[in-house]
Structure 1
Amino acid sequence: MFFDIGPLEILTIFVIAIVVLGPDKLPKAISETSALLRKVRSFSDSAQNEIRQELGPEFSDLQPGDFHPRALAQQALSRAEDEADLREITQSPSLNGQADEGDSRPGPMAV
């Protein structure tokens, strides 16, 4: 459903809440919890919008998940692979795969 919580878990939480809080305090606790979640969501949205405005239009497609360490590592590895491919192409004797006559450098090793 949401947060990897299924319907059975939600029902269990609801039953525990009824037992702990009682049926008379439960509606007030639910409304306070929902108000807190709305405030947190509003704060998060405003912080994201402020960060996007400060960074400028070139970072408009930036998502909070982009700052996760795994995402950063994948981006760095992807950039390193692209640079290695570019380096291999630029260091090859010629673009059509044939070596120049005066070039005594060995070509790139096949992997």
Structure 2
Amino acid sequence: MFDSVGWGEILVLVVAGLFILGPERLPGAAAWLGRTIRQVREYATGARDQLQKELGPEFDELRKPLEDLRGLRNLNPRAAVKRTLFEGETPNFGVDVSKPPLRGGLDMTKPVSNGNGSAPERPAVTPLAPGERPPIDPDAT
């Protein structure tokens, strides 16, 4: 829980609490804070256990992508770029690239149908002439 909070920050909080609450109320406030944190942890553990009990083996499938996202927190972009450019290794950043991504339940590898079995036609795009202003969509701005 306190991964990003160092001893310096804790010391500043204690000194600020000492000035705000005073020395007579600080121990009671610290005890209240400890009880509250313990109670929140118990609630979170109970909720996780209940979800795990209700979902069964699907809970682990749900939990894996979240752990992959947690691994991105420790990503060092400089090292990833260096590894990609100089060592020829392609980083996957914890993502399984062997499967096509699913967005909103749609398979992004298949073309979208317009209802009659064919893919919708896209309008032809013509390049702008030099000095020509692009069209503006007033609803988009």
Q: Smaller-chain TM-score range?
A: 0.5 to 0.7
Report the counterpart of residue 22 of structure 2 in structure 1. 22
Q: 1:7 to 1:54 in 2, by over 3 A?
A: same
Question: Which residue number in structure 2 is paired with residue 39 of structure 1?
Answer: 39
1:26-75 Cα distance to aligned partner (Å, 9 max, x none): 0000011111111100000000000000001343475387289x57xx75
Length, aligned pairs only: 79
Partner of 2:88: none
Consecutive unaligned residues in structure 2, runs of 5 or more: 71-93, 102-141
Letter in 2 for 1:39: Q
Which is greater in Rg?
1
Give the TM-score taking structure 2 as reference length: 0.45
Looking at both structures, which has the greater relative contact order when contacts are Cα pairs under 8 Å and sequence separation is at least 6?
Answer: 1
CA distance in 2, matches of 1:23, 1:36: 21
Q: Which has the higher helix share?
A: 1
CA distance 1:21–1:55, shift in 2 (3 Å): same
Q: Distance in 1 between matches of 2:23 and 2:65?
A: 39
Partner SS state of residue 17, structure 1: helix
CA gap of 1:59–1:31, structure 2 versus 1, over 3 A, is same
| 1:10 corresponding residue in structure 2 | 10
Aligned match of 1:50: 50
1: CA distance, partners of 2:39 / 2:14: 22
Q: How far apart are the structure 1 equivalents of 2:14 and 2:34? A: 14
SS at match of 1:23: coil
Runs of 4+ in structure 1 displaced over 4 angstroms? 74-78
Q: What percent identity do the matched residue pairs reach?
A: 32
From 79, 102, 105, the counterpart of 2:99? 79
CA distance in 1, matches of 2:21, 2:4: 25
Alignment CA distance shift 1:65-1:57 (3 Å): closer
Q: Which amino acid aligns with 1:79?
A: K
Q: Distance in 2 between matches of 1:13 and 1:38?
A: 19
Distance 1:59 1:44, change over 3 A: same
